[in-house]
Amino acid sequence: MQNNEKNIHLSVVIPAYNEEENLKFGVSQELFKYLEKQSFSWEVIFVDDGSKDSTVRVLEDITRSRTNVRVLKEPHRGKGGTVIAGMFKAVGEIILFCDMDQATPISELDKILPKFRENYDVVIGSRKGREGAPFLRKIMAWGFSVLRTLVLRLPFKDTQCGFKAFKKDAARNIFEKMKIFRGSMLGEKTGVTAGFDLELLYIARKLGLRIAEVEVVWHHKESERVTPLRDSWEGLRDLVRIRLNALAGKYKV
């Protein structure tokens, strides 16, 4: 389906960093197979995070014949800044960001999109049970959920699922107000970190946006970019940074 920028219903933003192997396994095929069956207009934006392998070349080969698919080449600065760059380029009425490995398959949009017809502004995926995840990861996730509830009072079962959708105006409003991870757009090289999702959800709540949490399918995918101890420390650090920003009035609306 071909689209023009003035009439796109859905934008899908996918960050990519050294994803050559995932792409060789055909993860993009299921994405396009699903989208091409839909009656609404759509676009896909792959945002390369300064990959050191052949990710950009493979993406350009995949997307060359598709007029509604773009590849953005960005400097390496971590998932937060990369996603934000793609969100600001997206023009759809609804904007989804999801992971390249499709741990939550794109078909789970069937559960997400109806919520926008119920006048929600943000819809986030929630992983039930975290099938296949190592026991240590599950314990650490539980501990982190307790901390985020105490420190930020976020009333969600799962803040970290990489499958989140927004009305366009809500997305612009949220991401323009981000302080920690908007900074990563200016060159701070951050990796996969829990703080990105926490900051955007904290701001969404401060803005009074209607947020729905929807249970989605999720399959554990091993990644060398995920290091439990380091990621837990960075998540705790970001919890404190967000709370300090809030106390300093930096998230006033």
Pick the closest to residue 96 from 168, 23, 185 (CA basis): 168
Between these two residues, 149 and 91, which has the higher pLDDT value?
91
- Please state the pTM of the whole predicted model: 0.87
Which pLDDT tens digit goes with each residue over 70-120?
999 999 988 888 999 999 999 999 999 999 989 899 999 999 999 999 999
E strand residue ranges, 152-210: 163-167
Q: Which CATH architecture has domain 10-247?
A: Alpha-Beta Complex (3.90)
CA separation for the pair 221, 54 (Å, rounded)? 21
Cα separation values, 197 from 57, 126, 184, Å? 29, 13, 14
**Predicted local distance difference test score (pLDDT) of residue 203:** 96
Classify each residue of 189-199 as buried b or exposed e, where b means 16 or more C-beta atoms within 10 Å of its C-beta: ebbbbbbbbbb
CA separation for the pair 121, 115 (Å, rounded)? 9
Domain ranges of the chain: 10-247
Which pLDDT tens digit goes with each residue over 48-61?
999 999 999 999 99
Q: Which of 11-15, 24-28, 48-52 shows the lowest per-residue confidence on average (mean pLDDT)?
A: 24-28
Where residue 1 falls among pLDDT bands split at 50, 70, 90? very low
